Amino acid sequence: MSAAGGSWLISFRVGGAEAALPLAVVREVTARPPITRVPGSHPFVSGIALHGGVALPVYDLVRFAPLWSGPRPVRAEGKAGEAEHVIVCDWGEARVGLLGDGVDLLEAEQAGNAPGGAQASRCRMSAEYVREILRRDDEAVLLLNPERLFASLGVPAAEPTGAGEGGGEDDPAGR
């Protein structure tokens, strides 16, 4: 254990892989809300949901091709993911949701590093997005690199105070 040592993680299943994010970036986990497709958005944006009155872009990582090192779980233009949960993350000034199933809380200290063989056979995600491969019972859990992931998804990072407001949002009423 190194980078993840002593921290809590949220694990979730996506595209047949078991992934995890640091709990520090996760605001909450909710049941999948109504999601409306947004024409003109990136293909890996499943749509927009309303979360406490805020527009929550919901991402389907299965559709995000660079994340996967092997065959894509589904085609980019295929049916939208059927995941039952949304992992709501705060990233900089933005709030985003990730579709996932089997959401669980995982303490990194209790999860061991996976042996090399297990890593090679089970990891279908691109190494550049994986900070660490952990082991929970007999399964590998891929701790994602949130900086790399959110940057690649186009989510803006936190700006210095006063440099900008609203996380790239516009005033819908034209004010």
Partner 1 sequence: MKLLMVSVGEGRYAVPADIVTQILDPALEGDFRVERSEAVYRGVRFPVLDLHAAAGERPGVATVYLVIEAARNRAVVPVDGADSIRDVPSTAIAPLPSFIFSRPDREFRGVFSDGGEPRLLLDQDGLL
Residue 74 found at the interface with partner 1 (CB under 8 A):
no
Cβ atoms of 123 and 140 within 8 Å: the answer is yes
CB of 59 to partner 1, least distance (A): 9
Q: What is the dihedral of CA 116, 117, 118, 120, to 10 degrees?
A: 90
- 51: Cβ contacts below 8 Å, ≥ 6 apart: 30, 33, 88, 95, 97
Q: Which 88-127 residues touch partner 1, going by CB under 8 A?
A: 94
Cβ of residue 97: shortest distance to partner 1, in angstroms?
11
- What are the C-alpha distances in Å from 172 to residues 48, 169, 175? 15, 9, 8
49 binds partner 1 (CB under 8 A): yes
Q: 28: how many CB neighbours lie within 10 A of its CB?
A: 13
Binding of partner 1 by 36 (CB under 8 A): yes
Please identify, among the stretches 19-27, 39-47, 78-86, 109-117, the one whose residues bind partner 1 according to the rule CB under 8 A: 39-47
Does 6 participate in binding partner 1 (rule CB under 8 A)? Answer: no
Q: Is the dihedral of CA 36, 43, 158, 68 positive or negative?
A: positive
The pair of three-digit structure tokens given for residue 170, joined into one six-digit string? 């516009």
Complex with partner 1: residue 62 or 141, whichever CB lies closer: 62
Per CB under 8 A, the list member of 3, 24, 50, 158 interacting with partner 1 is 50
Query: Which positions touch partner 1 (CB under 8 A)?
Result: 34-43, 45, 47-50, 53-55, 57, 94, 154-156, 166-175
